[in-house]
């Protein structure tokens, strides 16, 4: 098995999950799921997996790309991706039951498939079948996430000299994004640059505000490199910090370290989140940490569930998670520090290496 391509191994994992649920055929319409299972990076395609077949169907725009990227698939070229054409491919497979991704199919499209498919084919909704498989990364994926993390670390190093009183948040955002794109990456999500009172906004996208002496500046950004995302947050302070700034930073940093120490295969996502809340709560800032502690990271920046009050996951080796505690005090400012980690049977392996010491600029 180890000599097979990562995509052949992922097809095998999907078939095992299908067999367990007694699903003879699976139609995939969600593009990140299709990319994960086939390697196809175009924006229009669908995949059909059966116990003996793996089909990727796309249109003529992607002719050469699909053949080159998906050697483990029978590639079918369709004149269009209209439901009529999709149904022809499905009819040729003729499964007794066809499962589809309920979270990624509109009611309108479902109606069209139901109308055009043979009445004898039962349509069975599935929920997060491939998303669940995607939670556990294979070595090829971890290597790509690591490369995206290294680029984010380099981008942080690049941006530090630009952080000073008078610098405009949007200019800093552009400089950061320019650096990552210049290295061949895309940005994984809208870059957050939030200074002073705006650092109390957990999702403070870069604005026209100029940075001032005494500001906390929170940068939260990521690179998407070869399809895979990194996601890192650092908070720096411009000029000597006040006692309260030092204290708040210290609590967030202690929570980050304490949380990472607790991460190992077998523990529950909800426990790791609760432990972080205990540390922040004991310091008196329990009400100031509203969001979940972290999320799964991969092809998408929010690649699945992670650490939150409602998390239902149990950690398994190969999961890649963010750990991002924060304290936000309206009108005053906030601190968030974020690492990306791989879950193992032992201690978590940290993929982001930028220093987490309070940087005084």
CA 269-270-273 angle, to 5 degrees, is 90
Give the separation between CA 113 and CA 110, rounded to whole angstroms.
5
- Give the DSSP letter of residue 64: H
- Tell the smallest beta-carbon distance from residue 72 to Zn ion (Å): 32
Closer residue to Zn ion (CB): 231 or 273: 231
Strand partners, 237: 216, 360
Rounded Cα distance, 96 and 25, in Å? 8
Choice between 234 and 288, CB closer to Zn ion: 234
Smallest gap, in angstroms, from Cβ of residue 342 to Zn ion?
15
Identity of the residue, 116 or 205, whose beta carbon is nearer to Zn ion in the bound complex: 205
The SS3 call for residue 28 is: strand
CB of 323 to Zn ion, least distance (A): 9
Nearby residues of 92 by Cβ (< 8 Å), 6 or more positions away: none
How far is the CA of 312 from the CAs of 86, 111, 132, 297, 307, in angstroms? Answer: 35, 32, 12, 16, 9
Q: Which is nearer to Zn ion, 215 or 231 (CB)?
A: 231
Residues that bind Zn ion (CB under 5 A): 220, 231, 233, 322, 338
Cα–Cα distance, 172 to 328 (Å, whole number): 22
Complex with Zn ion: residue 231 or 303, whichever CB lies closer:
231
Please identify, using beta-carbon distances, which residue of 39 and 326 lies nearer to Zn ion: 326
Q: Minimum CB separation from Zn ion for residue 243, in Å?
A: 27
Q: How far is the CB of 322 from Zn ion (least distance, A)?
A: 4
Q: Least distance (Å) from Zn ion to the CB of residue 189? A: 8
Contact 133, 13 (CB under 8 A): yes
In terms of Cβ atoms closer than 10 Å to its own Cβ (0-12, 13-18, 19+), residue 184 is exposed
**Intra-chain end-to-end CA distance of the chain, in Å:** 52
């Amino acid at each position: 098995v180890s000599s097979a391509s990562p995509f052949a191994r992922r097809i095998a994992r999907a078939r095992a999950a299908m067999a367990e649920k007694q699903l003879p055929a699976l139609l995939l319409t969600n593009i990140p799921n299709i990319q994960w299972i086939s390697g196809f990076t175009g924006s229009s395609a669908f995949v059909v997996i059966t116990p003996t077949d793996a089909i990727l169907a796309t249109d003529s725009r992607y002719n050469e790309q699909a053949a080159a990227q998906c050697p483990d698939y029978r590639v079918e070229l369709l004149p269009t991706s209209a439901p009529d054409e999709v149904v022809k491919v499905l009819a040729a497979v003729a499964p007794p039951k066809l499962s589809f991704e309920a979270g990624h199919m509109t009611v309108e499209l479902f109606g069209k498939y139901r109308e055009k498919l043979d009445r004898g084919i039962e349509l069975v909704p599935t929920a997060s079948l491939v998303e669940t498989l995607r939670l556990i990364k294979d070595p090829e994926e971890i290597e790509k996430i690591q490369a995206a993390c290294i680029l984010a670390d380099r981008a942080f190093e690049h941006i530090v000299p630009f952080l000073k009183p008078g610098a405009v948040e949007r200019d800093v955002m552009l400089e950061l994004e320019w650096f990552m794109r210049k290295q061949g990456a895309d940005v994984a999500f809208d870059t957050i640059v939030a200074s002073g009172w705006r650092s109390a906004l957990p999702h403070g996208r870069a604005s026209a505000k100029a940075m001032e002496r005494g500001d906390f500046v929170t940068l939260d950004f990521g690179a998407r490199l070869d399809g895979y995302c990194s996601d890192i947050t650092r908070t720096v302070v411009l000029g000597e910090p006040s006692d309260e700034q030092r204290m708040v930073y210290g609590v967030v940093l202690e929570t980050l370290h304490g949380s990472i120490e607790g991460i190992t295969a077998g523990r529950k996502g909800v426990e790791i989140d609760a432990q972080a809340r205990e540390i922040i709560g004991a310091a008196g800032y329990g009400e100031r940490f509203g969001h979940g502690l972290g999320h799964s990271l991969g092809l998408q920046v929010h690649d699945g569930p992670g650490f939150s009050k409602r998390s239902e996951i149990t950690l398994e080796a190969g999961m890649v998670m963010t750990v991002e505690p924060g304290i936000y005090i309206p009108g005053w400012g906030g601190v968030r520090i974020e690492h990306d980690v791989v879950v193992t049977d032992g201690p978590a392996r940290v993929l982001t290496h930028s220093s987490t010491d309070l940087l005084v600029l």
